Chains A and B, each alone.
Chain A
C-alpha cells in the first residue's frame, strides 16, 4: 500500500493549509525525515517532512493551492511498489480527496485566489523544521448546532467560549453567557456583529470579501490574503471589537538608561552582545508584573486568569520582500532572565522571524506584548491588544527635546509609551500605577540590573 500524505494540522487553530512549494517531483526518491514540501498555515510557513522511505508517486495538490486539514495531498510508493500503478489508482479515484464535503467546497472557493498567492509569495518565506506529527490529531471542537448558529448570528468565535456540556461541548447556555458577558462589557452588539462576521468571512473563506463597495467600483489590483494576513484580520478585528480598549500615555526620561546602555555595550562589544533599548523595556515590563499581576492576565468570560509565568511578546515586522506581515515572538519567563539573555533571545527571534520564520512554539503563550516603532522615528502611537493579553505597550522613539528640570529648561532625551488596556481587567488608575513602576525602572535603570 502506498503511504498517504495528508495536509497536517500544524497548529491548534489551523483548519486549512496552502502548499507553498513542493521540494520533490513525482518519481523522486524520498526518505524518512526529508522535507518534501513547505506548508503555509494560518500562522506561519513550515516544512513538511516525509516519514517513510520510498518514491514520490503522485502529487495531488499543486503548489499554491489551499486545502482543508486531512485532505490527501500526495502518495509515496514504498519499495517494490510500482509508481505508475499507484498513480493510475489515484486517477481512478478522482485525484485529491478532500477531508469532507465542506472541505471540497472551501478548496474550490480558495483555488482562484491561491494562484495569486503563489505568485506574490516567494517560496520558503519562513520555512520551519519543527512540528509534531502528533498535533495532527488535535482536539475536536464540540459545539451544539444551535450554539454554533447563535454564535455565528452574533459574531462570537465559538473557540473562545468555554463549553460546559459533555466532553466540553459548547451548548446554548454557554454562548448565551458569552453574549451576556459581551453585553455587560459594554460592547455595542450591533456594530460588532457586523464587523466580526465580516472578518470571519475573510478568514474562513480565504478569499478577499467584497467588504467595501468603494473598492469594487474603482480600478485596482486585488492582492490575495496570505494565511498570516487572514489571521491578522480575524484576530485584530476580534480584539478591537470585543475588548473595551482604552489608552494611557506617559513620558519617560531616557538619559540615564541610554548612558548605561552605551557603557554596557562598550564593555560587551567583544562578547558579541549589543543591548537595545527594547531589551531594557522588556525587562522593565516583566519586572513590573510582580507588583501589578493584572497586567499579566487574561479575561476569561466569568473570571480573570492571572498567569503564573511572565512571557513577554515582542511584535516583529517582516520585511516586504519576504511578504510583509507581523508576528509576535515570545520571551518566556522574562522576569527571570537577565538583560544579556533577553537581548540574545530577542535578537535570535528577530533573525529567525525574518529568515526562516518562527515556529508555533516561538509565537505561543505571550502574556503581555510590546510593540516598538521607535527605530522608525515614531514618537507616539497606540496598539491593538494581542488576545488573550490584557495590555500592550506601544513605545515610541527616545527623542532629544527641551524639558524643564529643577525649574530650568534643559535638553533631555524622552520616550513616550502608550498602554492599550482591556477595561474589563484593568482600570485607569491601575494603568497609571503600572506606568509609574515602569518609570522607576526606566529612569533608575540600575534596578534592571540587580
Chain B
C-alpha cells in the first residue's frame, strides 16, 4: 500500500521536515513496520540526548517483538532501560522524568497492559500542563501493540483507542503502514504533549517502502489512499488495509470508493473527510474498537453535523462486534471489522445492497 496522493485541502505545515513520504524521491527501500519504528526512535535518540526508551524486555531481549533490536548496544543501559513487570510504576516514573525535562518513550508490551497504569497515563500525563498552571509539561510517548487478530484472548486484545480517545489532552496516533509509522513516531517524540502511539502486532512484519531521507508526518493530517466518487471509507490503523481490499472488490461491482487514512484520531482531520463526503454523498467509517462511544461514532457524528445536507444515507459504521474478543481464530476474524463487513456496509450505504 502506498499513498497515491496528498491532501487536496492545503494546510501548509510549519516544520520543513513535514513531508509526505510517498512524494520523496530516492531508491526503493522496503523495510518492516518494526524496523520503521526502530529507525524513528534511534534517529531521534541520536538527535536529542533527552530521549530514552524504557519498558519490559526492551534492552537485553531486544524487545518482546524485536522492535528495539540492537538499541542497547548503540545507546547503552542508561538510555535503553529494562523495567520490572510493573506498568503503573514505570509509566509513572517516566511521567515524572518528562515533567522534569526528559523525553521518555515508554513501551507497553501490549496496550492491554496499560490498563493497570490507567491512573498515571490518563490522570497524570494528559493533565500535567493544565493542573500545574503551565509550569510542567509532559513530553512523553507511550507506544505498544494495540488491537486483536493474533489469538491473544479477550484480555490481551484491547483496542484502547475506544477508551482513551475520550480523554482531553492526549494525542492518539494509529499508523497503517511502515512509512507512516516512522514519520508519525518522529513527530510524536518531538511533540511536547503526551502521545499514545498505537501499533498493531499484526502489522509489525508488514513491509513497505520507507524513504531514506528524513521526514516527519504532522498530526491531524489525513491522507487519501485511493480516490473514488461513490462512497468515502474513513479508517485508521490496520483496518485501512481491509478498506483497500474491500475497495478493490467493490470496484469490480461498479462501486467506486475513496479510502481515507486518518492516521491520528486525536487530532482528527475532519476537513479531509468532509471534502470527500461532499463529493461522494456517502460515508462508511471503519474502526476496530467497539462501536459504543468510540472514535468511529465520534467521526460519524461529526460527519453528520458537517455534511448533513450532503448525505444520501446515514453514515454507516463497521466496528469490532460488541462482545469480548474471541480466542477462536475463525471467530476472531469474524469479530473484527473485515473485508466482508466493509463491503456489505458500502453496498447498503450506496443503496446497492
Contact = CB atoms under 8 A, between A and B. Distances in A.
Interface in B282-328: 308-313
B42 interface: no
Interface in A135-151: 144-149
A279 B332 CA distance: 78
Max chain B C-beta neighbours (<10 A), residue from A144, A164, A171: A144
A21 interface: no
Nearest to B308: A145
A317 to B, nearest CB: 42
Interface string A148-188: 11000000000000001110000111000000000000000
B309 A173 contact: no
Interface centre among A145, A149, A164, A173 (most CB of B within 10 A): A145
Given A164-B351, A172-B281, A149 B309 contact: yes
Interface in A41-100: none
A146 B309 contact: yes
A246 to B, nearest CB: 36
14 contacts: A144-B311, A145-B308, A145-B311, A145-B312, A146-B309, A146-B310, A146-B312, A147-B312, A148-B309, A149-B310, A164-B351, A171-B351, A172-B281, A172-B312
Contacts of A172: 281, 312
A185 B351 CA distance: 27
A165 B281 CA distance: 15
A171 B310 contact: no
Nearest to A172: B312
A164 B351 CA distance: 9
A171 B310 CA distance: 11
Nearest to B311: A145
Interface of B: 281, 308-313, 351
Contacts of A144: 311-313
A171 B312 contact: yes
B321 to A, nearest CB: 24
A171 B309 contact: no
B351 A145 contact: no
Contacts of A148: 309
A148 B311 CA distance: 10
Contacts of B312: 144-147, 171-172
Contacts of B308: 145
A165 B351 CA distance: 7
Contact of B351 (A146, A149, A173): A173
Contacts of A147: 312
A433 B308 CA distance: 52
A442 B308 CA distance: 59
Contacts of B310: 145-146, 149
Contacts of B351: 164-166, 171, 173
A222 to B, nearest CB: 33
Contacts of A164: 351
A45 to B, nearest CB: 36
Interface in A280-307: none
A322 B321 CA distance: 66
Interface in A96-148: 144-148
A118 B171 CA distance: 63
Given A145-B312, A147-B312, A171-B312, 6 more contacts: A145-B311, A146-B309, A146-B310, A146-B311, A171-B313, A172-B281
Nearest to B310: A146
Residue of B281, B311, B312 with most chain A CB atoms under a 10 A cut-off: B312
Nearest to B277: A146
A144 B351 CA distance: 12
Contacts of B311: 144-146
Nearest to A152: B309
Interface string A188-229: 000000000000000000000000000000000000000000
A149 B310 CA distance: 8
Contacts of A165: 313, 351
Nearest to A144: B312
B277 to A, nearest CB: 10
* Nearest 8 CB-CB pairings of A with B: A172-B312, A144-B312, A146-B281, A149-B309, A146-B312, A145-B309, A145-B311, A146-B310
A353 B286 CA distance: 61
B337 to A, nearest CB: 23
A347 to B, nearest CB: 51
Contacts of A171: 312-313, 351
Contacts of B309: 145-146, 148-149
B316 to A, nearest CB: 13
B302 to A, nearest CB: 15
B333 to A, nearest CB: 29
A164 B313 CA distance: 13
Nearest to A164: B351
B303 to A, nearest CB: 12
Contacts of B281: 146, 172
A70 B310 CA distance: 28
A148 B309 CA distance: 8
A165 B311 CA distance: 13
A263 to B, nearest CB: 64
A178 to B, nearest CB: 15
A197 to B, nearest CB: 16
A252 B311 CA distance: 56
A361 to B, nearest CB: 36
B280 to A, nearest CB: 10
Most central of A148, A166, A172, A173 by chain B CB within 10 Å: A172
B306 to A, nearest CB: 12
A139 B311 CA distance: 23
A148 B281 CA distance: 12
Nearest to B281: A146
A101 to B, nearest CB: 15
A146 B309 CA distance: 5
Contacts of A146: 281, 309-312
A171 B281 CA distance: 10
A170 to B, nearest CB: 10
A165 B352 CA distance: 10
Nearest to A170: B312
Contacts of A149: 309-310
A177 B287 CA distance: 34
Nearest to B348: A166
Contacts of A166: 351
Which residue, of A144, A146, A166, has the highest number of chain B Cβ atoms within 10 A? A146
A177 B312 CA distance: 15
B51 to A, nearest CB: 49
B348 to A, nearest CB: 9
A153 to B, nearest CB: 10
A172 B280 CA distance: 11
A149 B312 CA distance: 10
Nearest to A149: B309
A166 B309 CA distance: 19
A20 B85 CA distance: 81
Contacts of A173: 351
A149 B311 CA distance: 10
Nearest to B314: A144
Nearest to A173: B351
Nearest to A165: B351
Nearest to B352: A173
